[in-house]
Structure 1
Amino acid sequence: MLKVNDLNVYYGGIHAIKGISLEVEEGQIVTLIGANGAGKTTILRTISGLNKAKSGTIAFKNTEIQSMAAQNIMAMGISQVPEGRRIFSAMTVLENLQLGAYLRKDKAGIKKDMERVFDKFPRLLERIKQQAGTLSGGEQQMLAMGRALMARPKLLLLDEPSMGLAPLLVQAIFSTIKELNQEGTTILLVEQNAHMALSIAHQAYVLETGRIVLSGDAKELACSPEISEAYLGGSVGH
């Protein structure tokens, strides 16, 4: 579904992404893990058209998208839930969700997807008229995910969905990610919590300073001593 080939991205004079290639098959959850500053967010932002690549290609369903505008990429079926949620805090929960569907014209489909979001996140229905800025961190994360789902994405890019959340909420968010995937949404997940990410992903790529240093089956990587040492605090499988 997504094929990134020899991608190079710069921030000014800094070579942030160094010749990265990765693939996401339809129906998979693929995760990018690595320390802060490894380039994970930059990759997602470049896929969704917010950053421009210096060289390399990004193909979505066999169409190259690296020089397309962000809204055209979104119209093709790629939605991103950004790091730090980025909800519109002065707007209500409902208005935030409606914004997620702003490229769509199918009223019946929008209504159905709105019901699906409330089914996934009942808390949002309870807070439907509330200003988004008054929600808790966990509720804001639900709203950010719900808003992205309103675009009915074929590929969902999730950037640090567990950041700053209480452990119980992290569990809930990850269950939802797994559920969305089982219902047919392909997911590319960037996550600081490597243990959780590897537990739900099919494939994983490990980044260090803008390069992929390891990749493979997520369950196998979760058991590898190198990964365990570097990202899981040395406790494989616990």
Structure 2
Amino acid sequence: MLDVKDLHVHYGAIEALKGVSLKVEPGQIVSLIGANGAGKTSLLQAISGIVKKSGGEVVFEDDSIYKVSPRKIVSSGLVQVPEGRHVFPGLSVYENLMMGAYLRKDKQGINEDLKKIYERFPILEKRKNQDASTLSGGEQQMLAMGRALMAKPKLLLLDEPSMGLAPILVKEIFSIIKDINEAGTTILLVEQNARMALQIADYAYVMETGNVALEGPASELASSKAVQEAYLGGA
């Protein structure tokens, strides 16, 4: 479904991605773990077309999206939930959700999907007329995920969805991610909570300083001594 080959990204003289390659197969949850500064967010933003790529290739559903605009990438079915939620302040929860559907023309489908979002996230329906900026961190994360789902993604890119959340909310967010996947959406997950990320993933990549250092089935990486010592607090 997604094939990233030898991808490079530069910020001036700094090389943030040094030839990263990865694959995401339909129906999978693929987790990307690594320390701060490893290049995980840069990779998602490069895939989404938000940052300029300086080499390599990105193929989504057999079509190159290397030079495609972010708008067209979203319309093709590849949608990102950014780190830090980035809900739109001054707009209601409902208006934020509808922003996710801004490229769609199927009014009936939009209304049906809105009902599904409210069923998945009942708190959003309860708060639908509330300014999005007044929601709690967990509620804003649910809103950001709901907004992305309103775009009907085939592949959902999630960037640090558990960041800043209380432990009980982290478990809830990961349960929701699993549910979204089981409902038919493929997921590429960037997450610093490596233990939780590996628990729900089918396959995983470990990034270090702009490179993929390790990859393999998530269960194998979770039992790897090197991964345990570096990211899981020891064996």
Q: What do residues 180-222 of structure 1 show as CA deviations (whole Å, max 9, x unaligned)? A: 1001100000000000000000000000000001000001100
Distance (whole Å) between structure 1 residues aligned to residue 14 and residue 165 of structure 2:
31
Three-state SS of the structure 1 residue aligned to 2:80 is: strand
The corresponding residue for 1:149 is 149
List runs of 5+ in structure 2 lacking aligned partners: none
Amino acid at match of 1:163: M
TM-score, normalised with respect to structure 2: 0.99
The corresponding residue for 1:218 is 218
The corresponding residue for 2:108 is 108
The corresponding residue for 1:70 is 70
The corresponding residue for 2:192 is 192
Amino acid at match of 1:39: G
The number of equivalent residue pairs is 235
Superposition deviation, residue 234 in structure 1:
0.5
2:159 equivalent to 1:163:
no
RMSD between aligned alpha carbons? 0.5
Amino acid at match of 1:115: K
Superposition deviation, residue 52 in structure 1:
1.3
TM-score, normalised with respect to structure 1: 0.98
Identical pairs, percent: 61
Runs of 4+ in 1 over 3 A off after TM superposition: none
Distance (whole Å) between structure 2 residues aligned to residue 32 and residue 10 of structure 1:
20
Distance (whole Å) between structure 2 residues aligned to residue 79 and residue 113 of structure 1:
16
Distance (whole Å) between structure 2 residues aligned to residue 11 and residue 120 of structure 1:
39
Distance (whole Å) between structure 2 residues aligned to residue 74 and residue 49 of structure 1:
10
Between 154-163 and 111-120, the greater mean CA deviation after superposition: 111-120
Q: What do residues 57-82 of structure 1 show as CA deviations (whole Å, max 9, x unaligned)? A: 00000100010110010000011000
The corresponding residue for 2:231 is 231
The residue correspondences of 1:32-43 to structure 2 (distance < 5 A) are 32-43=32-43
Q: What do residues 169-188 of structure 1 show as CA deviations (whole Å, max 9, x unaligned)? A: 00011000000100110000
Q: What do residues 19-45 of structure 1 show as CA deviations (whole Å, max 9, x unaligned)? A: 111000000000100000000000000
CA contact (8 A) 1:204 1:218 kept: yes
List runs of 5+ in structure 1 lacking aligned partners: none
Distance (whole Å) between structure 2 residues aligned to residue 34 and residue 197 of structure 1:
11
CA contact (8 A) 1:101 1:150 kept: yes
The corresponding residue for 1:45 is 45
Amino acid at match of 1:206: V
Amino acid at match of 2:123: R
Distance (whole Å) between structure 2 residues aligned to residue 218 and residue 194 of structure 1:
10
CA contact (8 A) 1:52 1:66 kept: no
CA contact (8 A) 1:7 1:18 kept: yes
